[in-house]
Structure 1
């Protein structure tokens, strides 16, 4: 049986090898790799602007809304399997049973997840991953990390992502189907968040810092079971090289 390579772990290893030249006494403690992270962020941003966004816009124009919703539901249902495994790993037994019911209902009555029957039936959707499971047991997040193609992460979340791949049903499909599923999931997800990108483009701030602090704040809030975590004041810029003035 062929498993996908742990892509985030490979990227983490490469970044660690380079980290010696990217640290310094003036670095944010949560982001000691900032120069390298900024370079990776610019690389990802260029790919997103020139490839991912045009593909996502074409997808939105060419595919009817009800079909796009069905595709989103299928991948959401597959994702609920990983959520369920992590809830059980954290000994959140009631939440795990909730997730199991979601998968069972949507996979049967929802035609393999094309229809989301569970949500209107009152079976709540949850969000868990192995990075949060590690955090639940006290594993520190480690430095912030921008991964090529994958974007914001931390050392802990990178390791967690690799583990989650082994719990995903798509991993065990034949390579051709598996790669098709990954591609379709990427396009569907990118298309869904085009409006969020437009809002970010209009903000007159350092986009790198905004994305970094929003990601880290959200992860802290998830570990705190939804308690709000305030973001920093962006009124005073710290002189980052990626300030957006356009």
Structure 2
């Protein structure tokens, strides 16, 4: 369904081009979300075949990135957008990079299983900790994408605040992994696998945060990338 906040020009074709940029971004995002979900399922179950599929699927995500970049550059060249239209195109170009990186991180999780099979499997406690963190990360990513799609600065602000819980989960997993390696040398390989997956999830959270910042830039016209959370809140809640 077209977003009523996008377009509004006399040229319906121009409106359609802008909407298509967002639609393609969301299609790419859906692919990377599935890629991430499959990578996590593969690691949790030890499914090497599924992990290999995740790794091979990366080409399709990269193809989407090229297609969206070309579409946005075409808009810039032909339409010479200004104001909110320009912000939309720039925000899509920035977000597509973050979404592509999520795909890369999904591939990293898959490779952690493919390259670490010789070390054995993580304990159930380790898998459970990763599962809790993964659920939070996937929810954060979904909410960030929805905030961007709806150009909803308030929703983006709420999602930004979820990053702290993910960072806390990451710190706990790393601390447990270091303790395991310290007390049992045989756990080094497995603990490094777990740490690598946790780091990938933490980075997905960071990219979700970036997408929220792009949504706020799109909605408020202010780059908030280097502002504190308090300053971002002030930007979002400031009366027009």
TM-score above 0.5, yes or no: no
Whichever structure has more helix as a proportion of its residues is 2
TM-score, normalization by structure 2? 0.27
